[in-house]
C-alpha cells in the first residue's frame, strides 16, 4: 500500500512519531534527511522528497539529520536521550547547586540542532 504524498507531508508537519520507520523525508536544499517526528524547522514542501527505504537517501547523497538521527533505530528518541543525560549528571553531581539556568547552559548545544540542519 502506497501512502499518498499529502498524508506523508501532514505527518512531517505534525512531527508524527507513529510514522517513524515507515518513511523518511529529505530536504533538497540542505541535503539532509529526517524522521517524520523530527522537531527541526518544517521545510518548504516543494523542497521535500520522500523515501521508504533508509538506503535511498544515502544513495542520493543526503546525510542524516544530527537532531533526529534517522540512521539509528526507529525507536530512538533524542528527547529521551537528553533527559537521560541530564538525569545522569544530576545523580552523579547532586551535591552541586544546580539551577535551571546552569543546566540549560551545560546542555544548550544539545537542545538546539546545528544551524545547518533542516
* Residues designated as active site: 34
Strand-pair partners of 32: 27, 63
**According to the model, what pLDDT value does residue 37 have?**
93
Local confidence pLDDT in tens for the 118 residues of the chain: 456 999 999 999 999 999 999 999 999 999 999 999 999 999 999 999 999 999 999 999 999 999 899 998 777 777 787 888 888 888 888 888 888 788 777 776 655 444 444 4
**According to the model, what pLDDT value does residue 110 have?**
57
- Rounded CA separation 48/2 (Å): 17
**According to the model, what pLDDT value does residue 74 have?**
75
- Rounded CA separation 32/115 (Å): 12
**According to the model, what pLDDT value does residue 108 have?**
66
**According to the model, what pLDDT value does residue 64 have?**
96
**According to the model, what pLDDT value does residue 111 have?**
52
End-to-end CA distance of the chain: 28
Please check whether residue 35 is in contact with residue 24, taking contact to mean a CB–CB distance below 8 angstroms.
yes
- The pTM (predicted TM-score) of the whole model is 0.68
Q: SS3 of 64, please? A: strand
**According to the model, what pLDDT value does residue 91 have?**
87
Instruction: Quickly name the fold that domain 5-64 has.
Output: DNA Methylphosphotriester Repair Domain (3.40.10)
In the block, residue with C-alpha cell 533508509: 54
Residue 38's closest CA among 61, 13, 75, 57? Answer: 13
- List the chain domain ranges: 5-64, 78-111
Report in angstroms the alpha-carbon separations of 94 from 7, 88, 91, 97: 46, 10, 5, 8
Amino acid at each position: 500500500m502506497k501512502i499518498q504524498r499529502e498524508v506523508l507531508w501532514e505527518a512531517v508537519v505534525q512531527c508524527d512519531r507513529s510514522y517513524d520507520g515507515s518513511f523518511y523525508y529529505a530536504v533538497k536544499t540542505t541535503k539532509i534527511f529526517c524522521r517524520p517526528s523530527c522537531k527541526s524547522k518544517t521545510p518548504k514542501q516543494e523542497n521535500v522528497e520522500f523515501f521508504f527505504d533508509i538506503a535511498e537517501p544515502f544513495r542520493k547523497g543526503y546525510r542524516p539529520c544530527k537532531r533526529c538521527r534517522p540512521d539509528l533505530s526507529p525507536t530512538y528518541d533524542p528527547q529521551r536521550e537528553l533527559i537521560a543525560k541530564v538525569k545522569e549528571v544530576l545523580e552523579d553531581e547532586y551535591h552541586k547547586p544546580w539551577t535551571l539556568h546552569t543546566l540549560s547552559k551545560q546542555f544548550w548545544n544539545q537542545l538546539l540542532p546545528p544551524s545547518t540542519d533542516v
